[in-house]
A and B are shown apart, each in its own frame.
Chain A
């Protein structure tokens, strides 16, 4: 947990009220969105597997609040929360899960594959751990642009960036992650691996899945990467500790590792009987709920949010998410004649999809 108590002058205390109110809104949006996601999944509007972010909201909102909008971000598969925190519209996110053309990836990826290039969101990824070398690569590109090219892709002056690469505690055990860390350490690349440590990899509790579970920072030390453990249930505390850490990684253009302690309230997926944990344990974590804690702070210590304000905010959000669901519902299904083949190659040409006009009544319109 955050070791040094920043007693008198907390960094987050210096932020204007509005910033914290925006965090609250963003976290509540994720929570509301996810409850509607669960509902839609139960109604079979969402295909595949569905992993919700409920309980972990402070992690995405708090960490993303510490970087710039054009710092690259790459995610694991539990990715709806980060997408919304990065300002993907709830409609694009919901429609993606519904498999609709208005989804962020035209409804082709589903729940695990939230991409939003304009917002520098390089995707959720379904293979656990496989996104971690991508984080290394994104940092490499940013460093190259600054140190070698002097400019970004759009011709603008290259700046010092820091990439955020999110992973779960289960991903700690994948070989790819260790290769990614070693590369980042060796080349001193500005990527921060944020381990959203919710204590479980599917049904496997962290102490049954990885060594040194109580001090994951020791793992990063093996690659010469600075590491910090932070309580991810308290967004103000998260900001107090993560902001200076991220700033240092940016300034010194070096990698970082965060053991961000959090908890998922729901099962691993929406079809998880959860035999591996007790209701008591879940309830204990819920008592430290990040949204309730921030709301309490804003209502009492800062006294900048009233009961009335909160009611309005949750009402607005409910309305916003309901509209997103409606829009996703009404959006068109992908057209099989075009969408089955499109986007596989940049330049479709004869010979790339030879089966397209073979014996199935469909023609590839690109050929």
Chain B
């Protein structure tokens, strides 16, 4: 066991998967010699050489398209896109090729591709460096969408993602990258893609979230009266979504608040709330609440924390839901 940050846990997972399978290659801008903008791939160049840890030109469409080509030829590419805002040029290759290749070829081709992308706000970055586009890729079928919030989960989920025969977009919440450490086993382990985690068991109200807001929810819970019992669910995988865990919880609590950084309208909160309404209608004591980013462009740092679903706003949402 080692005490690792999210960055280190991801680095460990990459190391072990590269040892485990010679067909795993990493590619991206400045990931090799420099170790990546967030230093996630630090040391891997020294260890595996530049044949397998590849510095690419500044060309996201090329990085993604080349990765799709590698994958359909039987390699296991793990490209890094430096920030979620730079997925734009890669979108075509990811959505129109990676996501559709299996159905287009009736499974003659398989696409074991894992795209690593730092995501989300809260690090004082400007727009294009702080967004949360997970709903966009969830809506684009053929791609799995994963967003761990802890070092332990990140390691296990990343190994699963790399071994998965389908394309996975692996979102890494930058706000959590170095925010804390936890015990992460040295040995290889996997966490099944598609399983939520109950972070805290409770009986009065359910909170569903993923990524960095997990910690805002925990902070909000600290501020609630002692007798309020909250069940906090970290989805961990956004697509496939473990809706069963959510439904079981809401059938128990009768109340639910969904928290995400992405803008409210057409965010994943809408989908989750709709599924809850379909399966828990007679159990609900209050309308499902959503606490999300606002329907605006992620603002520059002065207004960043006003945009994000920070603890006070979550607390208010919980209280309103309880008081209904």
Contact = CB atoms under 8 A, between A and B. Distances in A.
B296 A353 contact: yes
Interface string A335-367: 010011100100000001111101111100000
Contact of B57 (A49, A204, A339): A204
B2 interface: no
B316 interface: yes
A340 B30 contact: no
A294 interface: no
Contacts of B88: 127, 130
Interface in B1-52: 29-30, 33-34, 37
B127 to A, nearest CB: 7
B297 interface: yes
Contacts of A49: 125-126, 129
A107 B302 CA distance: 9
Nearest to B305: A336
B294 A341 contact: yes
Contact of A361 (B301, B307, B313): B313
B30 A175 contact: no
Interface stretch (B58-66, B162-170, B182-190): B58-66
Contact of B62 (A108, A109, A175): A175
Contact of B300 (A108, A174, A201, A276): A108
B289 A359 contact: yes
Contact of A336 (B295, B306, B316): B306
Interface in B296-324: 296-297, 299-304, 306-307, 313, 316-317, 320
A335 to B, nearest CB: 9
A128 B33 CA distance: 21
Interface size band for B: 35 or more
B86 interface: yes
Contacts of A203: 30, 33-34
A234 to B, nearest CB: 28
B85 interface: yes
A209 interface: yes
Contacts of B291: 359-360
Interface stretch (A64-72, A110-118, A281-289): A110-118
A173 interface: yes
Contact of B58 (A112, A171, A344): A171
A210 interface: yes
A341 B29 CA distance: 34
Interface of A is mostly: loop
Given A127-B86, A202-B29, A360-B294, A108 B299 contact: yes
A203 B320 CA distance: 50
Interface in B263-303: 263-265, 289-292, 294-297, 299-303
A112 B125 CA distance: 11
Contact of B296 (A99, A113, A340): A340
Given A109-B126, A128-B58, A201-B58, A355 B294 contact: yes
Contact of A341 (B125, B264, B265, B296): B296
Contact of B59 (A173, A208, A339): A173
Contact of A48 (B126, B265, B307, B313): B126
Contact of A47 (B30, B59, B302, B313): B302
A107 B289 CA distance: 32
A190 interface: no
A110 B88 CA distance: 20
Given A355-B263, A358-B264, A361-B316, A173 B57 contact: yes
Contacts of A176: 89
Contact of B301 (A110, A113, A128, A360): A110
B294 A334 contact: no
A32 interface: no
B55 interface: yes
Contacts of A126: 85, 126-129
A81 interface: no
Contacts of A352: 295
Contacts of B30: 202-204
A276 B320 CA distance: 54
Interface string A71-110: 0000000000000000000000000000110000001111
B62 A47 contact: no
A129 interface: yes
A344 B296 contact: yes
Contacts of B124: 47-48
27 contacts: A47-B124, A99-B302, A99-B303, A107-B300, A107-B302, A111-B126, A112-B126, A113-B126, A126-B126, A127-B85, A170-B58, A173-B62, A174-B61, A201-B58, A202-B37, A204-B55, A208-B55, A339-B303, A341-B296, A354-B295, A355-B264, A358-B290, A359-B291, A360-B291, A361-B313, A361-B316, A362-B306
Given A201-B29, A210-B57, A341-B296, 16 more contacts: A48-B300, A126-B128, A127-B85, A127-B86, A127-B89, A128-B86, A175-B61, A202-B58, A204-B30, A339-B299, A341-B294, A352-B295, A356-B294, A358-B264, A359-B289, A361-B316
Interface of B: 29-30, 33-34, 37, 55, 57-62, 85-86, 88-89, 124-129, 263-265, 289-292, 294-297, 299-304, 306-307, 313, 316-317, 320
